[in-house]
Structure 1
Amino acid sequence: MDAPFRILIVEDEPKLAALLGDYLKGAGFETAWIANGLEAMPAIRARLPDLILLDLMLPGRDGLDICRELRGFSAVPVIMMTARVEEIDRLLGLELGADDYICKPYSPREVVARCKAVLRRARPIAGEIQPLQIDEAAWRAVYHGVELDLTPVEFRLLRALSRSPGRVFSREQLLDGLYDDHRVVTDRTVDSHIKNLRRKLEHVTPDAPPIRSIYGVGYKYESP
């Protein structure tokens, strides 16, 4: 029997952390809890969890700073928890690398569902064929067995969208991580790159394009 997934809860509100822990344990997860941001990285390095629920506002060190350091050595899934809606663009920024976010107040059942979804993407069921495979170290993307010839910008866009299937990203959210030199670009730039990326994906699966445009909002990736 496989060992249960271990989820680290980094949250400074004891009652909220306890509630999350109860629901996650009820769903079959193993949990650990840390209340201070300064204790997060030592605990993560000592025993890397399968997923981290990371509060944005923490005593000692904030969640954004923790996530930024974490991405320097690990791709462990991170779900950010925040009451500051204005921070959402940064939470899911292409450079920061959070996998999802949840706004407070939230339902513990929703948190459990989000954890299951993120873990499923991070660790597919044995034998299950994943249509999209992204190798970040090699800057390589394979879709239905076909290696895609992507530009660096197209690769970043696909990586960002595919990290959260079904989630709609605004053009503004996608703009932040398009270029390493942080040049000023417009919404039309995003549209142009998305158009080229979709064309390459649709060349592989013309009847099932994975990237959809949401009128007046932005774009989302739908896993086949």
Structure 2
Amino acid sequence: MTTRPLVTILDDEPAVRAMLSAALEEAGFRTRGFGRATEFEAALQTMSPDICLVDLSLPDRDGLSLVHRLALEKGATVIIISGRAQVQDRVTGLELGADDYIIKPFDPTEVVARVRARLRRDRPAHEAAQTASFNGWTAHFDRFTLEDSEGRETAFSHAEGEVLRLFLERPNRLVSRALMQEVLGGAAGESFDRAMDVRISRLRTKLREDPKNPRLIKTIYGAGYIFLGDVSWR
């Protein structure tokens, strides 16, 4: 029997945790709720959630720093749920590695829909190749690292990995902004474009690209990007 996906809910409001748990469990998910970041981080030692719902206003920890750690160190899929509605807050959350951003107040059915959408995009390991080699690099999507020709590894976040996989699955082809939005999800607009720019800039840095003349990820102004390279999957 297939195990139901686990969704963790980190929010200091018991009513919010109860509401989300009820909606998600009715939709077929397992849930675990936490009111403080410390207890959530302790629980991560013995569990591997499929989706992490994270509020930014926590009593014992800055939510944004936790989002960054979850995305970079754990490779977790993170959806921020926050009352902070400013564009800059949304941009910052996405830049730090969050996969989606939902503003309070919200309809629980919207959260369920977003969770389902994320799980459809995050293909299981047995359905998707997890290692790609290109131009002296090896991308390990099972452990979220880039390995150079000398065996040195650099970590990348889950969100950066989504963008990298998108490029590596379409080498030498135009990847438009519209395609990125369609495949990666999220509302089109300034915050999405800014988040993509930041993720691509970070990938170029990790690939040791010259920012003025990148060899691998080329910007096609007004159209999108092209990844130039020969890619081998296994």
Say whether the fold is shared (TM-score over 0.5).
Answer: yes
Q: How many residues of Structure 1 are paired with residues of Structure 2 in the alignment?
A: 181
Match runs of 1:1-224 below 5 Å: 1-86=1-86, 87-93=89-95, 96-123=96-123, 135=141, 137-138=145-146, 141=165, 146-148=170-172, 161=181, 164-165=184-185, 167-170=187-190, 171-177=193-199, 179=201, 193=219, 195=221, 198=224, 200=226
Aligned-residue offset at 1:128: 8.7
Aligned-residue offset at 1:193: 2.5
Structure 1 residues 141-166: Cα deviation after superposition (integer angstroms, max 9, x where no partner) = 4669553489xxx9xx99x8577325
Structure 1 residues 51-91: Cα deviation after superposition (integer angstroms, max 9, x where no partner) = 10101101101221111122332222100011111211101
State the one-letter code of the partner of 2:224: R
State the one-letter code of the partner of 2:187: R
State the one-letter code of the partner of 1:26: E
Aligned-residue offset at 1:123: 2.5
The SS at the match of 2:111 is helix
Query: Which sections of structure 2, spanning at least 5 residues, go unmatched?
Result: 130-138, 147-160, 206-210, 212-217, 228-234
Structure 1 residues 88-140: Cα deviation after superposition (integer angstroms, max 9, x where no partner) = 110111xx1100010000000000000000111113697699xxxx8563485
Quick one: structure 1 residues 48 and 61, their matched pair in 2 at CA, closer, same or farther if it must change by over 3 Å?
same
Return 12-21 or 34-43, whichever deviates more. 34-43
State the superposition RMSD in angstroms.
3.7
The SS at the match of 2:44 is helix
For normalisation by structure 1, the TM-score amounts to 0.66
Quick one: structure 1 residues 164 and 34, their matched pair in 2 at CA, closer, same or farther if it must change by over 3 Å?
same
| Structure 1 residue ranges (4+ consecutive) displaced by more than 2 angstroms after TM superposition | 123-129, 134-150, 160-167, 171-181, 192-201
Contact 1:41 1:66 in 2 (8 A): no
State the one-letter code of the partner of 2:55: D
Quick one: structure 1 residues 51 and 163, their matched pair in 2 at CA, closer, same or farther if it must change by over 3 Å?
farther
Structure 1 residues 172-210: Cα deviation after superposition (integer angstroms, max 9, x where no partner) = 4445455458xxx9xxxxxx9353873638xxxxxxxxx
Contact 1:7 1:29 in 2 (8 A): yes
Percent sequence identity over aligned pairs: 30
The SS at the match of 2:61 is coil
